[in-house]
Structures are given as C-alpha cells and as structure tokens.
Structure 1
C-alpha cells in the first residue's frame, strides 16, 4: 500500500499553481471576559478595539491586552489576522485599561504554540496529571475524579470549570450564560453525574489541586489557584474527601514532575512576564516543548491538523504518517487518532462537525500547504476555534488546500455501486470500502463471518447484481476515477486502490470505464 505521506508532493504542485485566497475582515461584538485578560496579537495587518477607555488602533507585531472585566469590541480589517490568547487574571496584576505591547517576531511560533495548547487536547509527553492521579486513586482506594456530564450544555459548563476551576461566577450565572436555568443545570448534573453542580465543582477543584500538589506547589498557592477563598476551607474540604490533609498527601507522594496544569501555569507565566515587561523584544522566547494528543475517537467530528512549523507523527487507526512544515492531514470522524508533536514544532487543529459536510468516505488525506498560504491557514484556524470570524464565514473554505480531495468522496449509496443488505455482507462491503488496498480474499471474508465463500458471493450477487470479486473491482475503479480527477498519477492511484501491477489496474480500468487510465485523464472536460 502506498504510504500516505507520498500524497504530499502530488498535491504541492496543485496548490503552487494558485495564489493563496484572500480573506475578509472580522468583527466581534462587545464582550467581556470575567476572569481572564484577553491578549489580541496582530499576526499581520491592523485591527481596532473599542472599549470604555476609547478607541485603539494597532498593527502587525503588536499585542493589545484587554483587562478582565473590561467590555470591548474588535474589528479586524480586511486581509488582517488577529490571534486571541486568554490569560488568567492572576497572571497580570495592576492592569486596569487596555495596553498595547510590542511583540518581537521571534515570539511568533511560541505564541501560536500557546494558542494551540488552549484550543486543542495536546499535552506534554510526560503528562503526570489525570493519568497519575487515576493510578494513585486506584492504589489508595480514594474517590475518582468526578464524571463529566454528557449533555451539551451541562458538559460545556463542566469542561469550562475543569479548565478554569477558579472561575468565581455563581452557578446561576454560568447557567444563564448558556441560556438554561439553574434548576435545569441541577437536574442535568444529578442525572448525568449523580452529584449537584455545587458538589461536582468542589470535587473537581480538589482533584485539580492535587495536580499542583504533585508538582510541588505550596498548599496555600494550590488552594488559591483552584478557587478556594481560604486555605482553611481548602484543607477541610480536602481532608473530608481524601482522608488526609493536603500537606500529608503531598508529602506521601512527593513531587513527581509536571502535570498539564503545572505546565500550563509556567507557559502562562512566561507569556505574562514577556508582556508585562512592556515589550518582548528584550526577552528570549522559551523553547517549545514536545506534546502529545493521546489516542481518541471523535464520532461526529472530522479534524484537520496543520503543521505551522516543525515535525510530527500522526497515527490514524493502524496507519502512520510523518508530517513536516506545511503538511496538513485530514482525519475523518469515527477513526481513532493520536498525534505526537516534536520539540520546537507547532501543530494547529481545525474541527468540522460531521453533519456540516457531505462526506462519507473514510480516507486519511495529506497535502502540502505552500508557505504563501500560511496567513490563509491561520485565518481559518482562528475562525474555526474562536468567535473572531468574518460574518457568514464558510468553515469548509479551508478544504480548498486539499484540492477537492476531501469533498469529492465516493458515495457508497450510489446506485452504480449498490450495497448488500444482509448484515454480514454489508459489513464485508463496508470494510472493503474502508480499505480498498486490502488483500482479504472471499474465502477469508467467509471465514470471518462464519459462512462459505459460495454464500458470500450469493449475497452479493442477489443483492447488488455482482459477485464479491466484481463488486470490489468496481469499487476500486470508481475510487481510482476520483483520484485521477484530482491529479494523482496512474501508478500511484493503482497502488492506493490495491493493485500491485499497473498493467492489471489498466486492464480492469479499461474493462469498467471503456478507456485506459491515461486516456481518462486526458479526456476533454464535460
């Protein structure tokens, strides 16, 4: 089977022939961050922010920091790009009005790394937070971390509180912010977690505090960071839940390195220190550490990962792909994937709800994005994961970098390739479509489902009009037509759809289509 990374060079040529698309400006209506400062960094172009203190215009290489609690609205001018980065209120003190700070270009990659860490599930490779805590819980027979609610609204509030445990807002204010009543929030938490929202919040804060304690932070400091008004109240609540004081618990487990909360703490502190110095020009950006997104499966979301800088490795199911500067990979919903980003690298994600796209194929697609498209890609990353997006923004426009390869997928329900209806036969058909380069034979499929080869062929013949072998050949040829339409060479297409020899592919293609692959490529447009 052709390695997926070999798709890259074929798609580079397709993009280099075109200029990078432009992008419009954006406007975000007035909003306020209650417990976080918002650093609005201009990557390119200009922007205007209006706040009670007046109007501020700032441009490329500048960062406007809006204090927590200050309402503001921002206009990003046409062709400009602003990266919003949230900073906890505790990280920058004595900030009462928006301030513009010069940011040296040497910080660009690091700020994007910081931004990516806030909008993606990337973690440091030695992550010792939840995983180690879970192991300690099992060993010590202590309470596990509270279960996150499953409904969208309650789950959204829970995820926010887990990320920002010190958020001081009352539960009724959090519920109001997402348009539900506090009674509805209470019912959802009780049903989905067995705990009231208040009890869940306290349990979550205590578990979050243990990550800081594991990293060696003082008890009083940890209590403050997770939202307890006093050390005394924290110690009492911790002792009630875990059977010992925080100091005794920390002494028994010692400092074991950095959990994700501790890593985030230092990352935020470094950024805040650079900003509060008045300018980052005199400060050296810290090194960008490696990171890992543990294997997970998004059932209803497709993901695009784009390498702004450096190298990474992506595994989708049992397929492994090496990525480098400018590569972008499409990872379809329903397939498990893991991402390992190397030191100094920045990987930026974009997510697409499965119901947003008429895409039914399961192919992993890799392309190379030219450096001239960098601002366009960043514009799409920001627009897809923040509210700072143009009016009427089409999130699918970024898929243009794949040369149409993602949108034009095979439609397995098409009448030209009917699907069998017998469950076992349909399973065979779906697995075949998922891996057209596979070598599983009819007898092997028959053994897998516990029937004879004759039965498998009978299912396919009676329900699709073709035996299994002919059905798979048509599926391969149909997919090959799509790949050839995308500019993939006939030899590469043959390997991708399961042919070892180009001659066999050409023979089957001619029998099904009436022309050779090369003739198909050269045919006049319809």
Structure 2
C-alpha cells in the first residue's frame, strides 16, 4: 500500500499475516528498532544504508535485505529513495528464510516485491496465496550477497563510529585516527582485529567500497565519488573498485 509520512503505521499492531508498504522517502534515519514480523527491505530506485546485527551494508537497487523477526536494525536514506518493505508473520506464513541475509534481486523477485508492496492491507488471503508462495520460493533460492562490514563495539570508538555511520566524516588513515581517538595505533589495530576480524586498513577499504556503491547508486559521477572518498585520482578509484568487485564502477552499476 502506498503511504506517506502522515499514514499511521505500526506493523506489530496490524491483524494481517502479510503487510506491504511503498513510499517515496527523503533523508531519513529510522533509528535502531525491531518488530515481531520478518521484513524484506528493498529500493528499486535510490540506495539505503542499513545496520543490523552488528553489520553495516548498503542496498543499491539490485540488492535486498531479509531481516528475521526480532532482529534490531536501522535504515538510513541520505537522498530520495523508492522504499519498499514487505512484512511477514512467521507464525502464519510457511517457507520463510530463517537467517539474516542480503541477496541479489532477480527480475522476477523485483516484480513480485513491486506488486506486493502496493497491495491493500485488507486484500483477501485467498487472493494473496499464489503470489506470496512464489515470493517465498524466490527468497529461499536467492543468491546471497556477502559485501557487508562488521562494526566494532568498543566504547572508545562509539563517537567516532557514529560520525562515520551518519556520513559526517570519513574513516581516517590509522595514524590520524589514533590522534583523534587518543589511543595508540597498536591498540586500535588490536581492537579491530578482535571485534571485526579485520585489520583496520582492510576495514577502512571495505567501508570506502560500500560508500562508493551507495554514492554511485545515487547517480553521482565517478569523479565526484573519487573526490568524496579522498582518492588521489579517478583512475586510482577505478582501479580500487575493480580490484574489489572485478568490475569498473560504471559496469557494476549497470
């Protein structure tokens, strides 16, 4: 169902086994929250940044997130996004995915999400059954997408990480970060390996890659993204992007 900011909506209070919503959302931060429904989150236009279960990832128009019931999550939109969210009651709907996942959206799944997001909430269950079953089947066989970023939880990094997540600053090189945090480079390196399983430099590069995908999804030029992420040149950014994805930025976004 198409909604706007004035539409009352709290999914856990709704009497339906399935609820779909569609909206045009501008700059928005949902805040960390959870609900009793499993959720499929997707944007056919624009890009969302999401944090869930200690992971950070981005959802360009070719990716979707499956969020099981009860999992805390937060969605951030920095520009206008065509927001699609499908909610499933796991106590009444069978064959739902069990685990948290980000996956590639096939053309068929995209069409199913678009159709179901605009359903009226009181659409009879008998008229939902076939499409709902096909959607669940597509979800169970969807190809997983593993480009996520684990987040550190140490209190010394809380303020720094919040600024990174909201886009207010970039993760600096290790020596600069050490000065800002007030901890030695050795301590920071040990923290990141312990809490994320990644050396800080690898974590920083993964963050730059995810942010690049987010900004490219917002139709920013290669030059603009390269400059925003402080690459020395466009060619250096393209080389970095291809090294990590196997494709140039323009080909990846197509």
Larger radius of gyration: 1
Higher relative contact order (CA 8 A, sep 6+): 2
Higher helix residue share: 1
